[in-house]
Each structure stands twice: as C-alpha cells, then as structure tokens.
Amino acid sequence: MLGHLQDFYGAGDTVLIGGDFNARPQYGRLDTWCAPSLDVPNNGGNTGQHRELDDLEPACPGIGESTVGEVNGKGEKISPVPPCGQRPEIDLLLVRESAIVGSSSGDALEISTACGGPCSGHRITVGTVSVRVQP
C-alpha cells in the first residue's frame, strides 16, 4: 500500500489515507510510513514521509488515543496496553508531512449506536488537516 501512495505522490497527487491498519503507530512495521519528525519516547525510529493526525494527542504523544472499544468482534475484553495504559490505536489517518500546511488534529469519537446498538468495535475516527496541493 505504501508503494501505491508513493506512486500517487510521484504522479503529483495529494493523498490522505485512513483506516484500520491493525498496527499500533509505534510498531516497527509503521516506521517506514511515519516521518522522522515524530521522534518522541513513545514512538521514534521513523523513516517515512507521513504523519498520523492524532500523533500528538496529549494523553499519549506519538501514538494518539485508543480507537477500539472495550471488546473485540468476538466479545472478548480489550485490555489497556503500554505505554499509555489505554486500549490500542489501530485506526489511523495519515497524510504526507510535506503536504501539511499549518495545524492538523485527529480524534476518536465514541462508537456509533445509530444501528440500534454498537455498530462496530471501533470508535469513529475523524481528523482535520489543511494540505498543499501539488501543482
């Protein structure tokens, strides 16, 4: 997927990607995604080009806030994990750092109940960012 994003960028596109990455931001497999400017005790060693919109969340800098509910799809309890003592963040909103103009922010809202109960095991992930569009 990262190769596809690089191809889009190389073609002059401005790309944002979001979804369930099934990986926490500090995992080594995301080091090639996240930019080295994100170098905090909870998440360093990054070599990529992107920033996650929630990566400076004060409750867990470098990681962001939990994006999952209290139980998984099998009804099993999801326990808090280190380093911040919260359930994992695995739903990410990423944008190429060089495209960011000004501030950005991300948030994990409550799980939707619009379907008459919990509609998912994941919290609604939202973000705001101003980007520079390539000429």
CA 106 to chain centre: 8
Q: Which residues of 68-103 are buried (b: 16+ CB within 10 A; e: fewer)?
A: bbeeeeeeeeeeeeeebebbbbbbbbbbbbebbeee
Q: What pLDDT sits at residue 134?
A: 74
> Which element (helix H / strand E) includes 95?
strand 91-96
Q: What pLDDT is stored for residue 43 in this prediction?
A: 95
Q: Where are the domains of the chain?
A: 1-130
Amino acid at 11: A
Strand 50-52, strand 16-20: pairing: unpaired
Model confidence pLDDT, tens digit, residues 80-115: 999 999 999 999 999 999 999 998 999 999 999 999
For the cut 90, the answer to whether the pLDDT of residue 75 exceeds it is no
How buried is 104 (Cβ within 10 angstroms: 0-12 exposed, 13-18 middle, 19+ buried)?
A: buried
pLDDT digits (tens, 9 = 90+) for 2-60: 999 999 999 999 999 999 999 999 999 999 999 999 999 999 999 999 999 999 899 89
Residue 105 has a CB neighbour count (10 Å cut-off) of: 13
Strand partners, 18: 93
